[in-house]
Chains A and B, each alone.
Chain A
Amino acid sequence: GAVVSQHPSWVICKSGTSVKIECRSLDFQATTMFWYRQFPKQSLMLMATSNEGSKATYEQGVEKDKFLINHASLTLSTLTVTSAHPEDSSFYICSARFGSGGETQYFGPGTRLLVL
């Protein structure tokens, strides 16, 4: 099956720093990538949808200036958490899909962010 990787898997940073998380589709071209956030014992909440070559579409309540998403190629999307604060500590998961409808999304293993 299709493989999606995320890097790093773990990151600990000081409050105020920016953190970049990479999401890569390893064996297919992802026309669409998604970023989710999951707080402890909560479900995955969609943050934004990213189509290659265009600006990301953010869900209501997600600050686009704080969570910068770049989808520069068909195999790479990045999420940058700018000026991270402790409340940004969470599990961030990306997924990738080829197509624009009901095709299967393939999920990355997630990145755990801890902001001190």
Chain B
Amino acid sequence: KQEVTQIPAALSVPEGENLVLNCSFTDSAIYNLQWFRQDPGKGLTSLLLIQSSQREQTSGRLNASLDKSSGRSTLYIAASQPGDSATYLCAVTSANQAGTALIFGKGTTLSVSS
């Protein structure tokens, strides 16, 4: 059964710092990996999607890498801003009894202070 783990659970940094969020998954047979942002009490915003054949994706100040063989992904946030404060969720698309499904980690809650 696929399990997704995110480290750290929480992170506090001053504005301007570069930071890395980590995600690991137990079954390397994935279709893709996604990073999401969730603000308190809100739904999900998709940040980056990496297909299983890709190594990384970039969007603005965000860069996500994928090492499928080792079951790891990192989300790099450059020059962090207070507006980046949110919970960041990592999820992988894996096969399940119904076809495929997204399996989520518990998230990393980021706080960026000004």
Contact = CB atoms under 8 A, between A and B. Distances in A.
B103 A46 contact: yes
Interface string B27-55: 00001101010000111101001011000
Interface string B64-107: 00000000000000000000000001010100111111111111
Interface residues of A, number: 26
Contacts of B101: 34, 46, 49
Contact of B43 (A46, A49, A109): A109
Given A43-B106, A49-B99, A57-B98, A102 B43 contact: no
Residue from B42, B49, B98 having most chain A Cβ neighbours under 10 A: B98
A interface majority secondary structure: strand
Interface string A87-107: 000010101000011101111
Nearest to B31: A102
Nearest to B105: A43
A110 B36 CA distance: 14
A7 B91 CA distance: 25
Interface string A44-61: 111011010000010000
A57 B99 CA distance: 10
Contacts of B43: 93, 107-110
Contacts of A105: 93, 102
Residue from B36, B89, B91, B101 having most chain A Cβ neighbours under 10 A: B101
A95 B89 CA distance: 15
B44 A100 contact: no
Interface in A65-88: none
Interface of B: 31-32, 34, 36, 41-44, 46, 49, 51-52, 89, 91, 93, 96-107
Interface of A: 32, 34, 36, 42-46, 48-49, 51, 57, 91, 93, 95, 100-102, 104-110, 112
9 contacts: A34-B101, A43-B105, A43-B106, A44-B91, A51-B99, A100-B99, A100-B100, A107-B46, A110-B42
